Structure 1
Amino acid sequence: MPRPELLVLTGPTAPGVEDFVTRIRALDPDAAVLHHDLRDVGAGLVHRRLRTRHDDVTTTVELAHGCVSCTLREDLLPQLHALAAPGGPARIVLHLDPVLEPEQVCWALLHVLVDGTTVADEVDLRGVVAVVDAGTWLADATGDATLPARGCPELPDDERTVAQVAVGQAEFADLIVLTGTADAWERARLDAVLARLVPGAPRLPVRELDDRVFLASAVRRGRPADVHAALLRGSPPLDADCGVRLVVFSARRPFHPGRLHDALDVLLDGVVRARGRLWLATRPDAVLWLESAGGGLRVGHAGDWLDGAGDEAWEAASAERRAIASLGWHPRFGDRAQDVVVLAHDADPDEIDAALRGALLTDAELAAGPGAWSALPDPFGWWHTDPCSPAADAVAGTDGRSEEEH
């Protein structure tokens, strides 16, 4: 018996998203649409709405801990298990609240057990559809507004910006559905950004919505990427278009932590997205993961370099990571390297490259050796925010990394 298909829908609260839901239900009237409204999650309440061919029922659920992870574990995942049971709908649309990023939710679908099984064991996870407003998305994705400033619920210990959520939603998509209006120049710039941010995802105007939305040929299918995988996925264009360009930065010497801390400001203005692996002179074993969107940036621990980690670490690494390490192995530094990809829309690529290159150890500092490097001032904690905040608590990322907001 075939498993029901599960489609994950993400995007802001907007008429365009509701229009999408209406259109997808017209394409498949038997599809069930499940949505958890988190506007009152801070008060311990979640409003669950389930739409089927015959019913439209909203239920208020009380969660003792009033947090997003509790919502997933205690209500959303069990609801999906119930819908996937024999006799249920052949297609389920999981419509995410605007503050949720699909990568974290898909990780939960794939890994969190409910009564001994995951949701992904019970359904055919087709992938993620992101609704993007052509007239507002780029401004949102490059700004520094906080979620509460946009009327989103203020969740405990949540310092994400609108840009971080907007970029995270679009970047993880298997299909982009475009709503809203934009003039020719705005649309051209948006297309240039999306072609480089998420090159594997087709873009489809909502008015042309058809069976392609069911993701029969999706590539990612909700699978989170490994932070140790290749940074350029899906062969994005490397040339400039409408002022939009990818900057690929690589180096085989460590960063001076103090100079890098200062240089990161170059990624917070005129940049849509930056992602990459960092090697600090003060932390010879640690891989740090950098991720920015608009005016928000996070740096976090992503495990250790394979060099010196032992045979077990090498065997546990993915085949792609082992291949990347082997091809670039350095006789002195092993697989340690700087690899950062920056998607700039209104910044000088040469200035970005120069700022990052200037943060590397100089020849004299490199020659001083690891003993001298360990004494360098290091402003990075294992959790760090930009704009810098005095304190924050470590959290686990979808791939087990702990993050620092910078």
Structure 2
Amino acid sequence: MKPFPAGTPRVPLTLISGLDPAANERLARQLRAPGTAVVHHNLREITSGVVHRRIQLDQRDEVTTLELAHGCVSCTLREDLLPLLRRLSRMPQVRRILVRLDESMEPEPVSWALHHVLVGDHAVIEDVEIEAVLTTLNCATWLADATGDDTLAERGRQASPEDERTVAQVALSQVEFADALVLTGAATDAWNAAKTLAVLDRVAPSAPRVDLSEVDGLRLPGHARRGEVTDLHGPLLTGEPPLHTDCGISVLLFTARRPFHPERLHEAIDVLLDGVVRTRGRAWVATQPDLALWIESAGGGLGVGHAGPWLDSPAGPGWDEVSAERRTLASLRWDPVFGDRAQEMVVVTDRATPEEVESALRGALLTDQELAAGQATWAGYPDPFAEWHEELEEEVTTGKENP
């Protein structure tokens, strides 16, 4: 990406996310001031190829119906939101922009698009500067949403006809990427309140929590990420979450220095879908030695993607091309045969116990006998993940990212 000239003024931009559209609207209204442009894309009719866009700026309040060729969040970003942000940033009366995301949207892919998707000859991050990512959280309903199995489609909230995400996946990703959490509503009882806080302490330990009335005086901590996209090879435990059990909520850090057997991992992975609040991490599968798989779960939803090649892979990045944190992690665990390949997952458990999750995952690793058989033998193992293999390799080879 071409760097923008030093000293070029950029318009401050705040992303607002959350499952409750009414709370998001109240937060946007609270933050709105003269010279602030508020942008909102309502995606409730996106499966029909229609998006309703609202722009508020001073006395202007304009709703436009957009007909998109392909009804999805990605085309909404590419075809309308990103070019719109560029235009707004160049209007002299616009001093600040608030993007109120649809409740089905996760802020990290939007931030990724701001940094990497070109509009014209450069990315929109050259025109705007992300000053904060704020997520609203309804204390009465968030815990049930974050631990439930409902899909977005079942709630009528899907972001495309093919959207299979669970409400829990969206709820947790919105919270994890936030610089601050804006609390609304009241917990149903003391136990619900305590358990909600126990989960938040473990999935978003660094994000301050404030009431809506306190937002105007909010000062973000120095470590706030302000839209920085997750390094999938970076540390998984950040912000010093408590490791003790509270209200039945526990944290398991699973690590191993040998690969998974693909079939046994496929069978064991179900343990992450019952009584587990959240899973995030990297997996090394014996049949796919050069590509780190990225595994996430939330509620009844599971996602398997790619985290890119290992440093030791033939197509891996150079050491000078990765973050200092990744270089440090790789140096500490470097193996003379397997390089930086390793298993590392963080699992936040609820009804399941860390011990049963640990046992299931460890049972999916290669045995000593299988390990001794060598990589030529591993390559012949049946691989239930093979349907993703060619697509993932193509994405890595061509440099495509999965936002």
Same fold, judged at TM 0.5 (above): yes
CA contact (8 A) 2:291 2:307 kept: yes
CA distance in 1, matches of 2:158, 2:374: 49
The answer as to 2:33 corresponding to 1:23 is: no
> For residues 374 and 393 of structure 1, what CA distance do their matches in structure 2 show?
17
2:215 to 209, 234, 248: 209
Q: Is the 8 A contact 1:6 1:93 kept in 2?
A: yes
C-alpha displacement of 1:218: 6.0
Shift of 1:370: 1.8
Query: What is the aligned counterpart of 1:188 among 191, 194, 206?
Result: 194
Cα distance per residue 1:137-191 (max 9 Å; x no partner): 1111111211121021461332111111111111111011111110222111111
3-state SS of paired residue (2:289): coil
SS in 2 for 1:81: helix
Please give the alpha-carbon distance, in whole angstroms, between the structure 2 residues aligned to 1:306 and 1:127: 32
- Sort the Cα spacing of 1:310 and 1:13 in 2 relative to 1 into closer, same or farther, 3 A: closer
Partner of 1:124: 129
Structure 2 stretches of 5 or more lacking a match? Answer: 1-7
Q: Secondary structure at the match of 2:118?
A: coil
Q: State which of 101, 109, 130 in structure 2 corresponds to 1:96.
A: 101
Tell me the residue number matched to 1:3: 10
- Deviation track 1:27-61 (CA, whole Å, cap 9, x = no partner) reads x3442211011112222221110112212111112
Matched residues in 1 for 2:393 and 2:335: separation?
32
**Relative to structure 1, is the Cα distance of residues 312 and 79 closer, same or farther in structure 2, using a 3 angstrom cutoff?**
closer
CA contact (8 A) 2:47 2:71 kept: yes
Give aligned-pair identity as a percent.
Answer: 53
8 Å Cα contact 1:143/1:295 also seen in 2: yes
Q: Does 1:330 align with 2:341?
A: no
Report the TM-score, using the length of structure 1 for normalisation.
0.90
Select 1:221's aligned residue among 226, 231, 249: 226
Match for residue 165 of structure 2?
160
What amino acid sits opposite 2:103 in the alignment? Answer: P
CA distance in 2, matches of 1:134, 1:396: 39
Is 1:255 matched up with 2:295? no
Does residue 71 of the first structure (1) align with residue 76 of the second (2)?
yes
- Structure 1 residue 320: Cα displacement: 2.2
Q: Distance in 2 between matches of 1:151 and 1:395?
A: 33
How far the C-alpha of 1:345 sits from its partner, in A, is 2.3
CA contact (8 A) 2:135 2:178 kept: yes
Task: Select which of 322, 325, 337 maps to 1:320.
Answer: 325
CA contact (8 A) 2:15 2:100 kept: yes
Structure 1's 328 and 276: CA in aligned 2 closer, same or farther, altered over 3 A?
same
Cα shift at 1:321 = 1.7
Residue 216 of structure 1 and its aligned partner are, at CA, apart by 7.6
TM-score, structure 2 normalization: 0.90
Amino acid across the alignment from 2:260: F
- Counterpart in 2 of 1:113? 118
Q: Look up the SS of the partner of 2:10 in the other structure.
A: coil
Question: Contact conserved, 2:105 with 2:159, CA < 8 A, in 1?
Answer: no
The residue aligned with 2:3 is: none
Specify the code of the residue in structure 2 equivalent to 1:257. P
Code of the aligned partner of 2:253: V
1:290 aligns to what?
A: 295
Q: Is this contact kept in 2: 1:382–1:394, CA < 8 A?
A: no
Instruction: For structure 1, list consecutive stretches of 5 or more residues without a partner in the other structure.
Output: 385-391
Report if aligned partners of 1:300, 1:401 keep a CA contact under 8 Å in 2: no
Alignment of 1:359-398 (within 5 A): 359-383=364-388
Secondary structure class of the residue paired with 1:94: strand
Once the two structures are superposed, residues 371-398 of structure 1 have per-residue CA deviations (whole angstroms, 9 ceiling, x without a partner) of: 22222221113449xxxxxxx999979x
Q: Aligned partners of 2:238 and 2:392: how far apart in 1?
A: 31
Q: Which residue matches 1:276?
A: 281
Q: What SS class does the counterpart of residue 350 from structure 1 fall into?
A: helix
Q: Would you say how many aligned residue pairs link Structure 1 and Structure 2?
A: 392
Cα distance in 2, alignment partners of residues 258 and 21 from structure 1 = 48
Contact 2:260–2:364 at 8 Å: present in 1 too? yes
2:205 pairs with one of 155, 179, 199: 199
The CA distance in 1 between the partners of 2:393 and 2:155, in whole Å, is: 25
Shift of 1:88: 2.7
**CA shift digits 1:59-89 (9 cap, x unpaired):** 1122223332221111111111121114132
On the 8 A contact 2:295/2:304 being kept in 1, the answer is: yes
- Between the aligned partners of 2:242 and 2:135, the Cα distance in structure 1 is 21
Q: Which moved more, 1:186-195 or 1:152-161?
A: 152-161
Q: 1:15 to 1:310 in 2, by over 3 A?
A: closer
Task: Please list the CA deviations of residues 175-213 of structure 1 after superposition, one character each: whole Å capped at 9, or x if unmatched.
Answer: 111111102221111111111111221111223332317
Distance 1:401 1:311, change over 3 A: closer
Q: Does 1:242 align with 2:250?
A: no
1:335/1:217 CA distance change after superposition, 3 Å = closer
Secondary structure class of the residue paired with 1:103: helix
- Pick which of 231-240 and 250-259 moved more: 231-240
Aligned equivalents of 1:304, 1:35: Cα separation in 2: 37
Note the aligned Cα RMSD (angstroms). Answer: 2.4
Counterparts of 2:200 and 2:274 in 1: how far apart (Å)? 18
Is contact 1:383–1:402 with CA below 8 Å preserved after alignment? Answer: no
Code of the residue aligned with 1:186 in structure 2: it is N
Q: Does 1:179 align with 2:199?
A: no
